[in-house]
C-alpha cells in the first residue's frame, strides 16, 4: 500500500494547546484507592501517594486532569471529602456499585496534582445536586478567605485558594445510567443557571457544558443544539465523549475509529456554529473532548445489571482493560484525529489514567507499568508542539464494514520553531504502507522515527511480562530534498521527528 502526503508549515489548522493532552481521574474501581493512593506501598510518600505512579504520570505528559468523575460525580457530596480524614463518611457509590471511603478528596487530590505537575479540571454534581452546591464548592475552593466556606478550607489546611479555572457542569446528563439525568431543555436551563451563578463569584472561569455522552445517543445533535440554545452565552466549551472497541473481531473498522471521531467533532462544531449563527453571536464555543479512549465497554455492560444489594466493595477491580498493540494503534489514530481538529478541540482528557481503562497499571504492594496505549500518548504529548498543520493525504484505501473505504494511512503534523513532527497510522491489517511526504517549506535536515507495532497485534504488557511491548525505532525513515520516505509496518502507529 502507498500514501503520498503534502504539508507546509505555512498551512496551519491552529495552535496545539497543552490542554489537548489532559487526563481524567475518577473515583472508580482501583483508580484512586490501590492505584494512585496506596499508603503502605514501598514507594508511597507520607501522603499515601505512590511515587512510582507519579513518575509514570509525569512521563506520560498529561496536562489538566478532570476529577472526580465521570458518573461518580452525579452522586457525590464534595463535603464528604474534606476535613479530618478519620471523620469522613463511607457512602454508597451508585454509579459503580462500590463503597466510597472518602479517604481522598479535593485537598488530597490537589496534593497529588502538585506532585505530577498537572492542573485541576473540576466537575460539579448536577445529578443529585444543583446550583447551590456548585457555588458552595466554588466558594470553598476559590475564595481567599473571610467567608464561612473559605475559612473552612483554611481550617482544613489550605490557606491559599485552589484557584481552579476549568469546571465541568455535570457529567453525561443525557445518559439513562446517569443519576439525575435530564432532558436537553431541563439540563440546558440548569447548566445556564449554574454557570451564571458561578460567574457571579468568578467571571473568569472556563465552563464546560455537557454534550451527548456518545455520538450514538438517540438525541445526539438535537441535545447539543437545545443545550447551547440555553447556555451559549454562559459557557466556553461543549463536551464530547467517545470510546471505541472492536465489534465481533472487526479490526479493520476498529483501526479506522478516527473516522468516527472526525465526523463526531465536525458535527458538534457545525451544531455549535449553527446556534452561534442564530444568536448572531461573536463568541465561539470550543470542544472539550473530555472522555476518549479504547474501552471494552461491552464487558462492563454485561455485568453491571446483576449486582446484588449486599455487594458494595471498596476499590474493586473494574474496567481494568489490558491493551494490546492493535488497541494502541487505534488509540494513536484517535490522537491524530484530535490534532487534526486543534482549531476547535482546545481541551481533551484521556479517560482514564491508572488501572481503570488506563495507560498505567499497578498491583497492590507491587509494581506499576506502562500499557501499550502509554506510548502513543506520551510521544504525541512530547512531540506535538506549535501549530497543527493541514496534511493532504493521497493514499490507497482499505475497505471497512463501518466506514466504507478509508485511506490506508491516517496522518497529522505539527510544526514549531524546533522542527516538524508527523504522526502516522497504518490501518492495513497485513500490508506495510510506503509513505512519501512532501515537506514543502519545512527547513529540516534530520529525521528519526519511533512507534508501536508487533508481529502479534494482540501482544500486551501484563503482570507476568510488563515490558513485552515498548516503543520501537523505525529505521526506514529517510529525508532527501525536502521529501520524507518511511515504510510503516502493518497495524502500526509511528511518530516521525524532523529537525
Ligand atoms: O470513563 C468511564 C465512564 O464512562 C465515565 O464515568 C462516564 O462519564 C462514561 O460513561
CATH number of the domain that residue 481 is part of = 2.60.40.1180
Residue labelled with grid coordinates 471494552: 296
Predicted confidence at residue 135, as pLDDT, reads 98
* Residues 378, 460 within the same domain: no
* Residues 378, 396 within the same domain: no
Instruction: Identify the CATH number of the domain in which residue 208 sits.
Output: 3.20.20.80
* Residues 376, 414 within the same domain: no
Predicted confidence at residue 299, as pLDDT, reads 83
Between the CA atoms of 296, 300, 301 and 302, what dihedral angle is there, to the nearest 10 degrees?
110
Ligand 1: residue of 168, 208, 351, 359 to mutate (most ligand atoms within 8 A of CB) is 351
* Residues 431, 324 within the same domain: no
Reduced to 3 states (helix: H, G, I; strand: E, B; else coil), residue 15 is strand
User: Looking at 365, 383, 401, which one is the last position of a domain?
Assistant: 383
* Residues 231, 368 within the same domain: yes
Is 291 a catalytic site residue?
A: yes
Reduced to 3 states (helix: H, G, I; strand: E, B; else coil), residue 44 is strand
Predicted confidence at residue 218, as pLDDT, reads 98
- Smallest CA-to-CA distance from 68 within 33, 97, 118, 27 is with 27
Other CB atoms within 10 Å distance of the CB of residue 145: 11
26 Cα: distance to centroid of ligand 1 (angstroms): 9
Helix (H) or strand (E) holding 483: strand 483-488
* Residues 34, 179 within the same domain: yes
Predicted confidence at residue 201, as pLDDT, reads 98
351 lines ligand 1 (CB under 6 A): yes
Q: What burial class does residue 430 get, using C-beta atoms within 10 Å of its C-beta: 0-12 exposed, 13-18 middle, 19+ buried? A: exposed
User: Looking at 342, 358, 383, which one is the last position of a domain?
Assistant: 383
172 lines ligand 1 (CB under 6 A): yes
Predicted confidence at residue 301, as pLDDT, reads 73
Q: How far is CA 299 from CA 228, 247, 315, 316, 320, in A?
A: 34, 12, 18, 15, 10
Predicted confidence at residue 270, as pLDDT, reads 98
Predicted confidence at residue 328, as pLDDT, reads 99
23 lines ligand 1 (CB under 6 A): no
Largest CA distance in the chain: 69
Which letter does DSSP use for residue 87 in this model? G
* Residues 206, 349 within the same domain: yes
Predicted confidence at residue 304, as pLDDT, reads 66
- Phi-psi region for residue 231, left (φ > 0), alpha (ψ -120 to 50) or beta? alpha
* Residues 249, 157 within the same domain: yes
Predicted confidence at residue 308, as pLDDT, reads 87
* Residues 339, 393 within the same domain: no
Q: Which residues pair with 345 in a beta bridge?
A: 287
* Residues 270, 416 within the same domain: no
Residues 6+ apart with CB under 8 A from 223: 174, 184, 211, 212, 217
291 lines ligand 1 (CB under 6 A): yes
**Residue 117 grid coordinates:** 505537575
Predicted confidence at residue 305, as pLDDT, reads 66
Predicted confidence at residue 463, as pLDDT, reads 97
Which residues of the chain are under the pLDDT cut of 50? none
- Whether the complex's predicted ipTM is more than 0.85 is answered with yes
User: Looking at 336, 351, 383, which one is the last position of a domain?
Assistant: 383
Ligand 1: residue of 171, 212, 296, 353 to mutate (most ligand atoms within 8 A of CB) is 171
Predicted confidence at residue 441, as pLDDT, reads 81
* Residues 178, 308 within the same domain: yes
| Total number of domains in the chain | 2
* Angstrom distance (rounded) from CA 369 to CA 460: 12
* Residues 319, 432 within the same domain: no
Predicted confidence at residue 82, as pLDDT, reads 98
Query: Which residue range is the domain that position 467 belongs to?
Result: 2-8+389-498
Amino acid at each position: 500500500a502507498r500514501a503520498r502526503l503534502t504539508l507546509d508549515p505555512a498551512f496551519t489548522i491552529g495552535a496545539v494547546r497543552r490542554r489537548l493532552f489532559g487526563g481524567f481521574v475518577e473515583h472508580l474501581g482501583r483508580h484512586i484507592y490501590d492505584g494512585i493512593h496506596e499508603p503502605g506501598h514501598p514507594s508511597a510518600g507520607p501522603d499515601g501517594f505512590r511515587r512510582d505512579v507519579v513518575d509514570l504520570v509525569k512521563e506520560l505528559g498529561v496536562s489538566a486532569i478532570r476529577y472526580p468523575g465521570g458518573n461518580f460525580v452525579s452522586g457525590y457530596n464534595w463535603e464528604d471529602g474534606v476535613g479530618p480524614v478519620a471523620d469522613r463518611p463511607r457512602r454508597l457509590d451508585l454509579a459503580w456499585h462500590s463503597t466510597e471511603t472518602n479517604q481522598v478528596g479535593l485537598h488530597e487530590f490537589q496534593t497529588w496534582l502538585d506532585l505530577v505537575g498537572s492542573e485541576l479540571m473540576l466537575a460539579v454534581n448536577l445529578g443529585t445536586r444543583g446550583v447551590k452546591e456548585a457555588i458552595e464548592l466554588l466558594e470553598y475552593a476559590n475564595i481567599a478567605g473571610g467567608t464561612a466556606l473559605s475559612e473552612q478550607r483554611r481550617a482544613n489546611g489550605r490557606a491559599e485558594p485552589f484557584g481552579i479555572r476549568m469546571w465541568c457542569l455535570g457529567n453525561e446528563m443525557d445518559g439513562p445510567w446517569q443519576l439525575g439525568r435530564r432532558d436537553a431543555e431541563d439540563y440546558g436551563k440548569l447548566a445556564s443557571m449554574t454557570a451564571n451563578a458561578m460567574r457571579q463569584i468568578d467571571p473568569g472561569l472556563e465552563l464546560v457544558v455537557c454534550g451527548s455522552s456518545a455520538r450514538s445517543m438517540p438525541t445526539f445533535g438535537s441535545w447539543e443544539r437545545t443545550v447551547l440554545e440555553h447556555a451559549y452565552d454562559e459557557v466556553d466549551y461543549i463536551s464530547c465523549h467517545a470510546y471505541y472497541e472492536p465489534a465481533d473481531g472487526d479490526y479493520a473498522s476498529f483501526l479506522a475509529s478516527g473516522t468516527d471521531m472526525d465526523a463526531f467533532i465536525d458535527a458538534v462544531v457545525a451544531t455549535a456554529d449553527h446556534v452561534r449563527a442564530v444568536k448572531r453571536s461573536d463568541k465561539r464555543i470550543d470542544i472539550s473532548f473530555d472522555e476518549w479512549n479504547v474501552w471494552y465497554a461491552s464487558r462492563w455492560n454485561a455485568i453491571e445489571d446483576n449486582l446484588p444489594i449486599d455487594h458494595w466493595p471498596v476499590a474493586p477491580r473494574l474496567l481494568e482493560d489490558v491493551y494490546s498493540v492493535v488497541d494502541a494503534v487505534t488509540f494513536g489514530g484517535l490522537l491524530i484525529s484530535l490534532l487534526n481538529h486543534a482549531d476547535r478541540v482546545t481541551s481533551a482528557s484521556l479517560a482514564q489514567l491508572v488501572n481503570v481503562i488506563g495507560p498505567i497499571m499497578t498491583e497492590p504492594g507491587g509494581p506499576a507499568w506502562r500499557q501499550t496505549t502509554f506510548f502513543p500518548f506520551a510521544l504525541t504529548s512530547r512531540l506535538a508542539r506549535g501549530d497543527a498543520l493541514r496534511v493532504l493525504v493521497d493514499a490507497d484505501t482499505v475497505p471497512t464494514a463501518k466506514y466504507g473505504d478509508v485511506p490506508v494511512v491516517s496522518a497529522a503534523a505539527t510544526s514549531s520553531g524546533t522542527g516538524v513532527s508527523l504522526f502516522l497510522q497504518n490501518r492495513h491489517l497485513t500490508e506495510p504502507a510506503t509513505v512519501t511526504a512532501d515537506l514543502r517549506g519545512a527547513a529540516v535536515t534530520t529525521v528519526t522515527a519511533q512507534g508501536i507495532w508487533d508481529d502479534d497485534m494482540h501482544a500486551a504488557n501484563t503482570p507476568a511480562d510488563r515490558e513485552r511491548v515498548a516503543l520501537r525505532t523505525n529505521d526506514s525513515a529517510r529525508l532527501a530534498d525536502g521529501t520524507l520516505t518511511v515504510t510503516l509496518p502493518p497495524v502500526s502507529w509511528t511518530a516521525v521527528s524532523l529537525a
